Amino acid sequence: MSILASDIFTTVRAMLDDDNSGRYSEASDLTPFVNSAINHLVMVCNAAFEQKKLSPESLRELTKTAIITTTGVGSTKQAVVTSIMSELWTILGIEPDPEITTGPDRLVATRNKLATRMTLEAWNDAGSDPFSASTLQSVPADFLRPGYLGPGHYTSDTDYQVLIRPASLFAANKVAVWYLKNPTKVTSGASSIEFPQSVFNLLVEKTLNYLSRQHSPDSKYNAITDKEIMQLITLING
């Protein structure tokens, strides 16, 4: 369940403006500082992901799936993901040739192994390694493991692509991309914040900090602390 921006506005006003003076403007103060608090929480999440203390899949409100048509001949398939790049936070998983509905493409079921995320160096070395994901060597079908590289401008200057190997895993030219989307920015009190209710107080606290403090150029305000990471992990996984 997402959080209403108006609930944060109300709580912040109650804490900072107990005489109800109306000195804090929704458009000039509350909205931009709530967005700053959201951006900070994204950075805290990234730190928790890197430390493997929090799974991106825990943010259910931000988890999406896109079915992308692939192109390419030979050993590698290319999936153009330009349409989701504006909202893409991080890719959670990629499955070649999922089971989908006809008409508007929607995921029905998974039936293949998820592709392994690879570095460019690993991708280049994998072709000749029969034990690696995305190998180009002849191995039994049961041991084939897909791998992917991207997103990046690999064969186009305008489109972002994900590369997936081996192409032999595809019966149809479709790939499922599970990804975490960036939280939508708040524009008014009616906006929904796509974080779980459990982090409501964290957003309130960070909004209060932005509103109530003046910081010097060497301020550590944007520094991410271990305490914040542990608070986030406890609240989301609790």
Residue 224 has pLDDT above 80, yes or no: no
The torsion of the CA quartet 80, 85, 87, 90, rounded to 10 degrees, works out to: 90
pLDDT range class, residue 231, cuts 50, 70, 90: confident
Q: Phi/psi zone of residue 150: left (φ > 0), alpha (ψ -120 to 50 degrees), beta?
A: left
pTM for the model stands at 0.82
Report the pLDDT value the prediction gives residue 219, as an integer from 0 to 100: 46
Q: Assess contact for 164 and 70: CB atoms under 8 A.
A: yes
pLDDT score, position 222: 54
Using the predicted structure, report yes or no on whether residue 24 has a pLDDT greater than 90.
no
Query: Which of 55-69, 76-90, 127-141 is predicted with the least confidence, judged by mean pLDDT?
Result: 127-141
Average pLDDT over residues 49-63: 89
Distance of CA 19 to the CA centre of its chain: 40
Q: What confidence tier does 238 reach under pLDDT thresholds 50, 70, 90?
A: low
Q: What angle do CA 195, 199, 200 make, to 5 degrees?
A: 95
In this prediction, residues 129-134 reach a mean pLDDT of 87
- Give the count of alpha carbons within 13 A of 129, CB side only: 12
Better-predicted residue by pLDDT, 18 or 233: 233
* pLDDT at site 229: 77
Q: Decide: 98 and 207 in contact? Cβ < 8 Å.
A: no
What average pLDDT does the segment 93-108 reach? Answer: 90
- The position carrying tokens 């690696």 is 132
* DSSP-derived 3-state class of residue 159: coil
H-state helical runs in the chain: 5-16, 31-50, 82-85, 120-126, 200-212, 226-237
Say if residue 59's pLDDT is above 80.
Answer: yes
Going by pLDDT thresholds of 50, 70 and 90, the confidence category of residue 20 is low
Within its chain, how far is the Cα of 21 from the centroid? 39
Does residue 157 contact residue 79 with C-beta atoms inside 8 Å? no
Tell me which DSSP letter residue 54 carries. Answer: S
Mean pLDDT of 52-74: 91
In angstroms, the CA 217 to CA 140 distance is 60
Residues 158-209 pLDDT 10s: 999 999 999 988 989 999 999 999 999 999 999 999 999 999 999 999 998 8
Structure confidence at residue 215 as a pLDDT band (50, 70, 90): very low
More confident residue, 1 or 88: 88
Write out 91-148 in H/E/C secondary structure. EEEEEECCEECCCCCCEEECCCCCCEECCHHHHHHHCCCCCCCCCCCCCCHHHCCCEE
